[in-house]
């Protein structure tokens, strides 16, 4: 019997832009931008890119008021990447 591949995201959890949720993850808290989240009671396992690459990506896609700052990215990394 083949099990379905899916993720469970609990009510009220926010998945920020550029994030990846790995198959079969159970996400119980909000996810920082550009992170990869996996596991049952999911946690951040890595970031998609280095901060400098994220800043370049943000400059290409978002207007000035919607860009994520370097200080915000560093605080996300400290807060979520445990």
Strand, helix or coil for residue 12:
coil
Digit-coded pLDDT (tens) for 25-71: 999 999 989 999 999 999 899 889 988 899 898 888 888 888 888 88
| Predicted confidence band of residue 78 (pLDDT cuts 50, 70, 90) | confident
pLDDT greater than 60 at residue 82: no
Residue 59's alpha-carbon distances to 14, 41, 68, 75, 82, in angstroms, are: 23, 33, 9, 19, 27
Kind plus residue range of the DSSP H or E element containing 46: strand 43-47
- The whole domain housing 17 covers 8-80
Number of domains in the chain: 1
Q: What is the pTM of this model?
A: 0.79
26-27 and 35-38 beta bridge pairing: unpaired
* pLDDT greater at residue 16 or residue 76: 16
Is residue 28 one of the residues assigned to a domain? Answer: yes
Q: Tell the residue number behind the tokens 């996400």, with chain if given.
A: 27
Please indicate, yes or no, if residue 27 is contained in any of the structural domains: yes
Whether residue 70 is contained in a domain is answered as yes
Count CB neighbours of 64 within 10 A. 7
Residue 81 has a pLDDT of 60
């Amino acid at each position: 019997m083949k099990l379905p591949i899916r993720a469970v995201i609990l009510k009220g959890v926010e998945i920020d832009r550029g994030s990846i949720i790995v198959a079969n993850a159970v996400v119980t808290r909000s996810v920082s931008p550009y992170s990869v989240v996996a596991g049952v009671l999911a946690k951040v396992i890595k970031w998609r890119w280095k901060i400098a690459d994220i800043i370049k990506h943000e400059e290409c896609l978002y207007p000035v008021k919607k860009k994520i700052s370097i200080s915000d990215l560093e605080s996300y990394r400290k807060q979520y990447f445990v």
